[in-house]
Amino acid sequence: MCGIIGYIGTEEASPILCQGLKNLEYRGYDSVGMATVSGGLEIRKGVGKIDDLRCRLNFEEIPGHIGIGHTRWATHGTVSFENAHPHADCTKKIAIIHNGIIENSDRLREALLKRGHEFAGDTDSEVIAHLIEDRLNGFPGQRGAGDGEPGTGSFDNGFFETACLDAFRLLRGSYAILAIKEGEDKIVGIRKDSPLVLGLADHGTFFASDVSPFLEWTKKVVYLQNYDFVVADGKGVKFYNLLQGEVSRPVDTVEWSMEEASRGKFEHFMLKEISEQADTIQRALQQDGDVIERIVDEVKKGFGVFFVGCGSSYHACLTGTYLLSKVAGVHVNAVLASEFENYEHFLTEDTLVFAVSQSGETADVLDAVKAARRKKSKIIGITNVMGSSLSREGDELMMMNAGPEICVLSTKTYTSQAMLMALMAYALCDKHEECVQKAKDLYMDVYNLTSKSMRVRLKDLAKELVHKEHIYMIGRGLQYTTALEAALKIKEVSYIHTEAFAGGELKHGPLALVEKGTPVFVFVSRDNEDRIVANAQEVKARGGYVIGVSDWNHRVFDRWIKVPECGDLNPIIQAIPMQILAYELAVQRGLDPDKPRNLAKSVTVL
């Protein structure tokens, strides 16, 4: 959940690292730090965001052509100077940065303490620097503990690499690690279950958690695989795999542009990404016809189908279950990835598991994929990030094609996922073309919904709601899943407590929460209007303030958000004004919509 970057080349490293860390900030932003080698090793770090620390610590003035940088999302250890990365060994000659969780860190730390090592903080990561130091001092270490233990051969290209390799073999858990050392003109890296990508530019080599920090310099990338161990020096890059020995890795070209990954004229990435949806929804339809056909076949003959995801991706899964049931009469199960272990015993070789994840790196989703792999079930990955772990894990792959999503909240990728669900539902009953046409007809509607005039109207509504403590949302069928997604958007970015309920459930409990003036959003579609309007009446009768989201203004509404009626595609259309409202609420409450507190974009811990 942290962002890591490294650079070695002919340019000064620190300005590159600063810029890169800014692009990686969406992965974590409670503390930040950098280390460079220029003869000696220099580390600067602190609590805060990159923009605050950049000036305070003169980041850009640290000399050296070799450097590593880290932006943190705390897991082990509080947010403090000591726990910020990079971490050093006792001699302050080695610096490491790490993204992931070292599961056996307590045991390793204990052993290191017994041998006299001194630790500055409480993170699991700090053991890595001390383990490397230990290996350099010739200490063989305790074997048989780490994930990388069954390694073959050794890397006999120098003491530092060998020490790193030996140290990394002792780690258990998930990790993307970069290490540098005083007097060594190289960066050493490794990954397992946490992302690490290389960027190959004319003037040097980049390491990063994703491609966004180096898109300005190169589009040539190498996506590292689990247990890949890499050494980059002035002459090039060497690849080694802990389990396979020496390996070579192909060079790919990234399709995302620098412009897509920058904010442009928009105040925030969230607003930019919301306004891209007229295009991104269309791009979700650009799927390989053969792949769709194969998936349809598999679903038809599959013995059990699961849609698995977290957060907004889970809401897209749930939308998918309603769509496949309604449009194609096909039953599928939507399961929260973190709860999937409870369903594992249903998996067989004939089961299909759709793993849905924007980032393709969500640990809970990858864990579900592992479970499916163990049971030899078919896996279909749906992701937005080419090169992500999920993009390489599936038997089939559908890309969302939404371009980089930098804001921590999912907006455009949620609607792309919902579009893909609709596409599958229609393809299952041979109506693929009909779906494509419906989506094309949506273009202007989405364009209008993301226009300035819509934003002005929602800004107005936000002014009314900005000081509310609670907001509730109701819907039925596809409008229920939309309500769930809308509630998640508002709560995570504005911190206003927002909950969604199925309309029919109100009277079974939640109605007790409604009092005079309680705002309740009601999502309506033409095919269930009577029942949901009846639920809205129940709210109104208790003094609730009813805000309708529909294509007509019913007299039960106190406020009305006008959206076109789009039938099966309503979940896409109705989500958009809610994204804008969530954005406006955050801005009016003085919050940064791109970086809500306590959250990170890529949740790579279980």
Catalytically annotated residues: 2, 601
Please, what is the minimum distance in Å from the beta carbon of residue 74 to ligand F6R?
Answer: 17
Site for ligand F6R in 467-496 (CB under 6 A): 488, 492
Please, what is the minimum distance in Å from the beta carbon of residue 522 to ligand F6R?
Answer: 22
> Contact with ligand F6R (CB under 6 A): which of 71, 280, 312, 415?
312
> Contact with ligand F6R (CB under 6 A): which of 88, 500, 603, 605?
603
Rg (Cα) of the chain, in Å, rounded?
25
Dist CA 409 CA 27 (whole Å): 11
Q: How far is CA 457 from CA 127, 265, 280, 449, 479, in A?
A: 53, 21, 24, 11, 22
* Among candidate residues 471, 502, 503, 476, the one with its CA nearest the CA of residue 487: 471
Q: CB under 6 A: which stretch of 24-32, 96-104, 124-132, 309-317 binds ligand F6R?
A: 309-317
Please, what is the minimum distance in Å from the beta carbon of residue 416 to ligand F6R?
Answer: 11
Q: CB under 6 A: which stretch of 56-64, 217-225, 246-254, 306-314 binds ligand F6R?
A: 306-314
Contact 369, 379 (CB under 8 A): yes
Give one word for 199, left, alpha or beta, with left for phi > 0 and alpha for psi -120 to 50.
beta
| Residue among 105 and 411 whose Cβ is closer to ligand F6R | 411
| Residue among 282 and 358 whose Cβ is closer to ligand F6R | 358
Contact 570, 479 (CB under 8 A): yes
Contact 222, 103 (CB under 8 A): no
Dist CA 431 CA 446 (whole Å): 22
Task: Give yes or no for residue 311 binding ligand F6R (CB under 6 A).
Answer: yes
* Size of residue set near ligand F6R by CB under 6 A: 14
Please, what is the minimum distance in Å from the beta carbon of residue 323 to ligand F6R?
Answer: 18
Dist CA 307 CA 336 (whole Å): 9
Dist CA 207 CA 98 (whole Å): 12
| Residue among 179 and 310 whose Cβ is closer to ligand F6R | 310
> Contact with ligand F6R (CB under 6 A): which of 83, 287, 351, 362?
362
Dist CA 115 CA 179 (whole Å): 22
Task: Give yes or no for residue 409 binding ligand F6R (CB under 6 A).
Answer: yes
Dist CA 400 CA 418 (whole Å): 10
| Residue among 312 and 479 whose Cβ is closer to ligand F6R | 312
Task: Give yes or no for residue 357 binding ligand F6R (CB under 6 A).
Answer: yes
Task: Give yes or no for residue 600 binding ligand F6R (CB under 6 A).
Answer: no
| Residue among 64 and 311 whose Cβ is closer to ligand F6R | 311
Q: Quick one: which H or E segment has residue 198? A: strand 197-201
Task: Give yes or no for residue 335 binding ligand F6R (CB under 6 A).
Answer: no
Largest interatomic CA distance in the chain: 80
Phi/psi for 399 (5° steps) reads -95, 145
Q: Residues near 517 by Cβ (< 8 Å), separated by ≥ 6?
A: 543, 544, 545
Q: CB under 6 A: which stretch of 124-132, 351-359, 524-532, 568-576 binds ligand F6R?
A: 351-359
Dist CA 426 CA 430 (whole Å): 6
Q: Which residues pair with 23 in a beta bridge?
A: none
Task: Give yes or no for residue 535 binding ligand F6R (CB under 6 A).
Answer: no
Q: CB under 6 A: which stretch of 91-99, 121-129, 327-335, 358-366 binds ligand F6R?
A: 358-366
Task: Give yes or no for residue 365 binding ligand F6R (CB under 6 A).
Answer: yes
> Contact with ligand F6R (CB under 6 A): which of 36, 410, 482, 528?
410
Task: Give yes or no for residue 358 binding ligand F6R (CB under 6 A).
Answer: yes
Q: CB under 6 A: which stretch of 40-48, 311-319, 427-435, 518-526 binds ligand F6R?
A: 311-319
Based on DSSP, count helices (H) and strands (E) in the chain, helices before strands: 17, 25
The DSSP secondary-structure symbol of 557 reads: -
Task: Give yes or no for residue 230 binding ligand F6R (CB under 6 A).
Answer: no
Task: Give yes or no for residue 498 binding ligand F6R (CB under 6 A).
Answer: no
Dist CA 512 CA 362 (whole Å): 36
| Residue among 528 and 604 whose Cβ is closer to ligand F6R | 604
Please give the residue whose beta carbon sits closest to ligand F6R in the complex.
311
Cis amide bond preceding 510, omega within 30: no
| Residue among 411 and 525 whose Cβ is closer to ligand F6R | 411
Please, what is the minimum distance in Å from the beta carbon of residue 209 to ligand F6R?
Answer: 13
Dist CA 547 CA 523 (whole Å): 9
The DSSP secondary-structure symbol of 377 reads: -
Q: CB under 6 A: which stretch of 41-49, 255-263, 352-360, 544-552 binds ligand F6R?
A: 352-360
Phi/psi for 521 (5° steps) reads -85, 140
Task: Give yes or no for residue 389 binding ligand F6R (CB under 6 A).
Answer: no
Please, what is the minimum distance in Å from the beta carbon of residue 448 to ligand F6R?
Answer: 23
In the complex, the residues that contact ligand F6R under the rule CB under 6 A are 310-313, 357-359, 362, 365, 409-410, 488, 492, 603
